[in-house]
Amino acid sequence: MSDAAPPERFVLAVDVGGTKLAAALVDPGGRIVHYDRVATPNPAVPDAGGRDAERLWRTVRALLGKLVADAGDPPLAGVGVGCGGPMTWPAANVSPLNIPAWRAFPLRERLRALYPGLPVRIHNDAVCVAIGEHWRGAGRGRDNVLGMVVSTGVGGGLVLGGRLVNGASGNAGHIGHVVVDPDGPPCACGGRGCLEAVARGPALVAWARERGWRRENPHATGVDLAADARAAQPVAVAAMRRAGRALGVAIASATHLCDLDVVAVGGGLSQTGPLLFDPLAEAFRAHAGLEFARGVDIVAAELGQTAGLVGAAALVLAQDHYWSAG
């Protein structure tokens, strides 16, 4: 009888995004040991026969098969996925707003059929980022953490008492739809003045264009806006201040409601550093009136582009903290 240690089992983690599909094998300590990515097939409108939906699924399946094969077919402990919403949770029939080909696509059911006998767990992509930051990033060792993603949208996830809060439909922590300006711009959700409507990258670009920024270049993006802000272009700087103030107001409200230890802010816009975080801190100080709220640490997320994959893996590897469904 051998006394050799059993082979280490990895989680197959997946991040389904509008521009890329990323996958990784994650070890029990939360380290990514193999990684691969491909562009997301993203036709503007799915055809009536569902061929585009199946094409996207074949791309996901091929990516996962190649990753596992390239790693030497190691034993798997399960599959964890972060995917844009909305979705039914925990059944994970997904309808990502940035992937029109999938509408009520049975992603969890398909993955269960592909990996029979393994746990398959899927959550919102921003929730997975928050989980990753709590488990192995800026919020590790703290019990009450709000993780945020500020990019083409604004999303988040909430950990209280050391455990992920799901809410009635799996959407708890959705800070992008906290209202920061009741008279502000309309939001895609149907509301008005949501944080996402003010602070997401495309909204800032539109706001800056209305004020003369790069009108000669219709293809300029949030990346260009951030670059111009670093170069002290006045409209671009004002756009970053607008985003930072909105974030500070929303974080003050969330901290008063949830009594947080840490807020970890990630996503592309967070890479602008003080241009975003200075006005954020200023607005937070102006709106966080209660003493307990003023003690929260507001920091940049640590894990960068891998946070969602690490968080997706934690749905399996640290299920007592992050997975309460079947």
For the entire predicted model, the pTM comes to 0.92
CA atoms within 13 A on the CB side of 148: 27
At residue 50, the pLDDT reads: 59
At residue 157, the pLDDT reads: 97
The three-point CA angle 157-320-31 to 5° equals 75
- Whether the predicted pLDDT of 171 surpasses 70: yes
At residue 1, the pLDDT reads: 40
- Whether the predicted pLDDT of 72 surpasses 60: yes
At residue 7, the pLDDT reads: 59
Report whether 185 contacts 203 (CB < 8 A): yes
Name the nearest CA neighbour of 60 among 43, 79, 37, 82: 37
- Whether the predicted pLDDT of 4 surpasses 50: no
- Whether the predicted pLDDT of 11 surpasses 60: yes
Domains and their CATH numbers in the chain: 10-125 (3.30.420.40), 138-302 (3.30.420.40)
User: How far are the Cα atoms of 79, 124, 295 from residue 166, in angstroms, in the given order?
Assistant: 19, 10, 25
Report whether 244 contacts 277 (CB < 8 A): yes
Percent of the chain scoring above 90 in pLDDT: 83
Mean pLDDT of the chain: 93
How far is CA 42 from its chain centroid?
Answer: 19
At residue 48, the pLDDT reads: 45
DSSP string covering 52-110: HHHHHHHHHHHHHHHHHHHTT---EEEEEEEE-S-B-TTT-EE--TT-TT-SSEEHHHH
pLDDT tens for 152-162 read: 899 999 999 99
pLDDT tens for 24-56 read: 999 999 999 999 999 998 645 554 445 689 999
